[in-house]
């Protein structure tokens, strides 16, 4: 609390500090997720407000507790709208929170985070079904406004999914294609299973939430002609025309982000460094939650408005503990790739971290920078160490705020 007060002292705007009517308010309900409890509210004064989130955790080291009673500590103080929005992100598990009137709670949260759609906030506080209803309602309203039409998603087309977007609704729609690229050995059932796995799993702030819809129907003039033609061509068993209506038998929706490959082509050096750091952090944090993304190419990650890197392509996802991380046998060198005489057999779950580089980056300079930021990702021992930690039941904490924002290190 001492550190929290000092932080507020430093960061609260003067108008609030000096206001006679300055006040702190907190919701009665406590928001629980994983090992954290969050108090949520705002600081007001002088006609201004900042959101306030106080994450509370148990003391990390049991031996520091007195009389066996677990002590609590304030882990940080969050008062910027972006930091607070990240806590409530669509890329995290839903909170467990007891609220008497969900509508009031969501209304309050929306005042703290005006950019967040109500549907995402309902989902964030555990009312996923109502969140889906709100999302669908807002989507229909946006479609009816006719600000734009459905277009093919910018970026590299999927080998498994046909993806289209309504940019004004910040939403992507994903349809399982009738035929997959030969490079893929998944089936439509496996794809659904993987999306379901992610839905149930802790998404640790790094995997986008999905909604699943059946028989999504919309007038054909809401589609750009080339987009509709593409969908009818690659997914005829899912997308059909009924008179002037387009009927989509099954699709997933997700929040639309900027694909990381596109983002990197457009951003400046500083943003590049930040996003490369976050890309590696995303991979590490998913791994800490026992998820291996399978396909770690840049095109399978998106960048949010806050510059966070989030994974969205789930067809090759698997549990980290199912992977077999291997070093390339010393005698083989590069030969196994170039079809030389030296060879060794590769199992279906074999993964060679030393080989990640060229898959991730076509640009050698970017690879060099990334390797400097995240050298461990290319080491077999790093991955095996994580697997061992998971098998041993050691929970690797992933915080929904930067480690550098935590008070705990400063106190120990
Ligand atoms: N949430 C999103 N936001 C923005 N663009 C997206 C999103 N999801 C997918 N896309 C775009 O659609 C493309 C295909 O999506 P996705 O990677 O999910 O399909 P896929 O068929 O599984 O891909 P792959 O061929 O890599 O297996 C992506 O490369 C990206 O350009
Ligand atoms: Mg992809």
Which DSSP state fits 247? E
User: For every residue of 126-176, which 3-state class applies, written as one string?
Assistant: CCHHHHHHHHHHHHHHHHHHCCCCEEECCCCCCCCEEEEEEHHHCEEEEEE
- For 58-62, 65-69, 107-111, which range has the lowest pLDDT when averaged over its residues? 65-69
What spacing in Å lies between the alpha carbon of 26 and ligand 1's midpoint? 39
Q: How many CA atoms lie within 13 A of 239 on its CB side?
A: 26
Residue 17 pLDDT: 87
DSSP states of 336-395: HHHT-S------TTEE-GGGHHHHH-SSHHHHHHHHHH-GGGG-HHHHHHHHHHHHTT--
Burial of 158 (0-12, 13-18, 19+ CB in 10 A): buried
Distance between CA atoms of residues 193 and 161, nearest Å: 14
Burial of 153 (0-12, 13-18, 19+ CB in 10 A): buried
- Closest Cα to atom 20 of ligand 1: 158
Residues belonging to the active site:
209
Atom of ligand 1 nearest to the CA of 313: 18
pLDDT single digits (tens) 140-186: 999 999 999 999 999 999 999 999 999 999 999 999 999 999 989 89
Atom of ligand 1 nearest to the CA of 208: 1
Q: Evaluate: CB of 315 within 6 angstroms of ligand 1.
A: yes
Structure token pair of residue 175? 């349809």
Q: Is the pLDDT of residue 224 over 80?
A: yes
What spacing in Å lies between the alpha carbon of 411 and ligand 1's midpoint? 43
pLDDT single digits (tens) 89-148: 999 999 999 999 999 999 999 999 999 999 999 999 999 999 999 999 999 999 999 999
Atom of ligand 1 nearest to the CA of 297: 26
Q: Evaluate: CB of 257 within 6 angstroms of ligand 1.
A: yes
Q: Evaluate: CB of 259 within 6 angstroms of ligand 1.
A: yes
Q: Evaluate: CB of 293 within 6 angstroms of ligand 1.
A: no
Q: Is the pLDDT of residue 342 over 70?
A: no
Structure token pair of residue 236? 């005829």
What spacing in Å lies between the alpha carbon of 158 and ligand 2's midpoint? 5
Ligand nearest to the backbone CA of 299? 1
Longest dimension (CA), the chain: 81
pLDDT level of residue 410 (50, 70, 90 thresholds): very low
- For 76-80, 226-230, 337-341, 397-401, which range has the lowest pLDDT when averaged over its residues? 337-341
Q: Evaluate: CB of 302 within 6 angstroms of ligand 1.
A: yes
Contact between residue 309 and residue 282 where contact means Cβ atoms under 8 Å apart: yes
Q: Is the pLDDT of residue 304 over 90?
A: yes
H or E element that contains 240? strand 239-242
Calculate the alpha carbon distances from 181 to 84, 159, 178, 185, 214 in Å.
Answer: 40, 5, 10, 9, 24
Contact between residue 329 and residue 356 where contact means Cβ atoms under 8 Å apart: no
pLDDT level of residue 2 (50, 70, 90 thresholds): confident
pLDDT level of residue 319 (50, 70, 90 thresholds): very high
Q: Evaluate: CB of 159 within 6 angstroms of ligand 1.
A: yes
Residue 411 pLDDT: 45
What spacing in Å lies between the alpha carbon of 158 and ligand 1's midpoint? 6
Residues, beta carbon < 5 Å, ion ligand 2:
300, 313
pLDDT single digits (tens) 352-362: 999 999 989 99
- The domain spans of the chain are 2-142, 147-257, 259-403
Atom of ligand 1 nearest to the CA of 180: 21
What spacing in Å lies between the alpha carbon of 214 and ligand 1's midpoint? 20
Q: Is the pLDDT of residue 37 over 60?
A: yes
**Cα angle value 370/375/377 (rounded, 5°):** 95
Ligand nearest to the backbone CA of 303? 1
Calculate the alpha carbon distances from 258 to 3, 148, 165, 262, 307 in Å.
Answer: 36, 18, 12, 7, 10
pLDDT level of residue 348 (50, 70, 90 thresholds): confident
Q: Is the pLDDT of residue 38 over 90?
A: yes
Q: Which of 168, 155, 207, 202 is nearest to 315 (CA)?
A: 207
Distance between CA atoms of residues 343 and 210, nearest Å: 41
Pocket test for ligand 1, best of 177, 282, 313 (most atoms within 8 A of CB): 313
- Closest Cα to atom 1 of ligand 1: 256
What spacing in Å lies between the alpha carbon of 275 and ligand 1's midpoint? 18
Ramachandran category for residue 23: left, alpha or beta (phi over 0 → left; psi -120 to 50 → alpha): beta
Pocket test for ligand 1, best of 152, 163, 193 (most atoms within 8 A of CB): 163
């Amino acid at each position: 609390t001492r550190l929290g007060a000092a932080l507020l002292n430093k960061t609260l705007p003067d108008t609030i500090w000096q206001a006679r009517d300055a006040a702190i308010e907190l919701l009665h309900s406590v928001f629980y997720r994983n090992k954290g409890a969050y108090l949520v509210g705002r600081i007001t004064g002088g006609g201004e407000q900042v959101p306030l989130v106080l994450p509370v955790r148990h003391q990390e080291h049991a031996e520091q507790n007195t009389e066996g009673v677990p002590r609590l500590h304030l882990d940080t103080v969050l008062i910027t709208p972006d930091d607070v929005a990240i806590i409530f992100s669509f890329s995290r598990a839903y909170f467990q929170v007891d609220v008497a009137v969900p509508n009031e709670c969501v209304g309050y949260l929306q005042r703290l985070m005006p950019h967040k759609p109500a549907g995402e906030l309902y989902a964030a506080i555990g009312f996923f079904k109502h969140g889906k209803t709100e999302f669908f309602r807002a989507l229909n309203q946006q479609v009816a406004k006719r600000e734009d039409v459905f277009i093919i998603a910018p970026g590299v087309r999927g080998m498994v999914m046909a993806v289209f977007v309504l940019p004004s609704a910040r939403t992507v729609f994903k349809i399982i294609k009738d035929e997959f690229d030969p490079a893929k050995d998944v089936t439509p059932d496996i794809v659904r299973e993987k999306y379901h796995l992610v839905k149930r799993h802790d998404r640790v702030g790094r995997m986008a939430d999905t909604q699943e819809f059946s028989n999504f129907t919309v007038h054909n003039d809401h589609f750009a002609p080339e987009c509709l033609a593409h969908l009818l061509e690659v997914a005829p068993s899912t997308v059909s025309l009924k008179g002037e209506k387009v009927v989509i038998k099954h699709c997933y929706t997700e929040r639309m982000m900027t694909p990381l490959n596109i983002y990197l082509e457009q951003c400046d050096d500083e943003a590049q460094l930040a996003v490369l750091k976050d890309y590696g952090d995303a991979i590490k944090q998913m791994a800490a939650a026992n998820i291996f993304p399978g396909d770690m190419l840049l095109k399978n990650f998106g960048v949010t408005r806050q510059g966070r890197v989030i994974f969205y392509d789930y067809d090759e996802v698997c549990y980290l503990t199912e992977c077999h991380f291997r070093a390339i046998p010393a005698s083989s060198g590069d030969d196994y790739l170039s079809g030389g005489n030296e060879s060794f057999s590769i199992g279906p779950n074999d993964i060679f971290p030393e080989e990640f580089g060229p898959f991730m980056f076509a640009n050698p300079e970017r690879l060099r920078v990334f390797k400097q930021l995240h050298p461990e990702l290319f080491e077999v021992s790093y991955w095996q160490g994580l697997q061992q930690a998971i098998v041993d039941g050691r929970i690797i904490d992933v915080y929904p705020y930067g480690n550098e924002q935590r008070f705990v290190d400063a106190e120990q």
